[in-house]
Structure 1
Amino acid sequence: MQKQLVILLLFLFVVLGACGNDKPAPETNIPNVAFAMTNQENKSFQVKHVVKGKDVLIECIVADFPFRKGTNGGHINVYINGQKIDEVYTAAFMLRGLPTGKHVIRLELVHNDGKITGLSQEFTVTIS
């Protein structure tokens, strides 16, 4: 009886110990690619970008902003060199086939009903 109690207590200890919230940070292995984080003027809208050849991979981190079409949703207006090129409804996306040279990319969060959030980020990439 005492042996079964010890085994039960050990089992409960292992199970409860495994229920912690300590999750490992994700690892990213992208060789020979610089990972840059934009200068964050507004801490509630963060942007990470990676230049890979003529493509730019972009990841936006925004708390409590629903990326979706329709009511109660929002999107990102994407500008390259001052010209609006797209409306994106996902937090991560890719700009493909940029021409050689320097480009200023501006991302602006907008609600689908037209309300401006006032959140935007701008960064420069060089395509070689």
Structure 2
Amino acid sequence: MKKIRMICIPAFLLLAGCGHDIPDPEVKPKKDAIHFSIPTTATVQASLSDTEKDGLDVRYIVKGNKVFVECKVKDYSFREDSKGKVGKIVVEMNGVMKEYASAAFVMEGLKPGKHAIVLSVIDVASKTPKYKKSFQVMIKE
């Protein structure tokens, strides 16, 4: 009986102490955020994780004529209601620029061939670029 108390009382205190301090998720869903999934039957042409110590981690997957991109940016959020620094992503590809307000997005309708992509994280408040990465993708016919 004494052993049961010695096990149950600390376990109860541990569970009771952690029950009310549940952390909020870091990323909350946003109405206009882009959500995508890759079908499990599809074959992936190429993927890459480009990690450096500069605060920007870019991962992408090429599938057909689409490029699925996910960015992790140090010290920046892409949510407008964030209390910290707010950023946006500007992608330049083949001379065309497009802005994204989400850390994950899909570039669709790419023509076959090699495409140079330059991805920049812009601070929304100061309108200055903070991080920049460039990579190339090859779209097969």
TM-score after normalising by structure 1:
0.71
CA distance in 2 between partners of 1:98 and 1:124 (Å): 13
- 1:66-99 deviations in whole A, cap 9, x for unaligned? 2134895220001112321x11111111111111
Would the aligned equivalents of 2:43 and 2:63 in 1 still touch at CA under 8 Å?
no
Q: Aligned residues: percent identity?
A: 32
Q: Does residue 73 of structure 1 match 2:86?
A: yes
Task: Please tell me the root mean square deviation across aligned C-alpha atoms, in Å.
Answer: 2.9
**Alignment match, 1:120:** 132
| Residue of 112, 117, 121 corresponding to 1:100 | 112
Once the two structures are TM-superposed, the CA of residue 39 in structure 1 deviates from its matched residue by 6.3
Secondary structure (helix, strand or coil) at the match of 1:122 reads strand
**Alignment match, 1:45:** 56
Residues 8 and 54 of structure 1, relative CA distance in 2, 3 Å threshold: farther
5+ residue gaps, structure 1: 20-29
**Alignment match, 1:57:** 68
Bigger drift between 108-117 and 45-54 goes to: 108-117
For residue 89 of structure 1, what is the amino acid of its counterpart? A
Would the aligned equivalents of 1:49 and 1:59 in 2 still touch at CA under 8 Å?
yes
CA distance in 1 between partners of 2:7 and 2:51 (Å): 50
TM-score after normalising by structure 2:
0.66
Secondary structure (helix, strand or coil) at the match of 1:90 reads coil
For residue 115 of structure 1, what is the amino acid of its counterpart? T
Residues 10 and 109 of structure 1, relative CA distance in 2, 3 Å threshold: same
5+ residue gaps, structure 2: 19-39
CA distance in 2 between partners of 1:123 and 1:103 (Å): 8
Secondary structure (helix, strand or coil) at the match of 1:77 reads strand
CA distance in 2 between partners of 1:12 and 1:38 (Å): 48
Residues 38 and 81 of structure 1, relative CA distance in 2, 3 Å threshold: farther
Once the two structures are TM-superposed, the CA of residue 14 in structure 1 deviates from its matched residue by 5.8
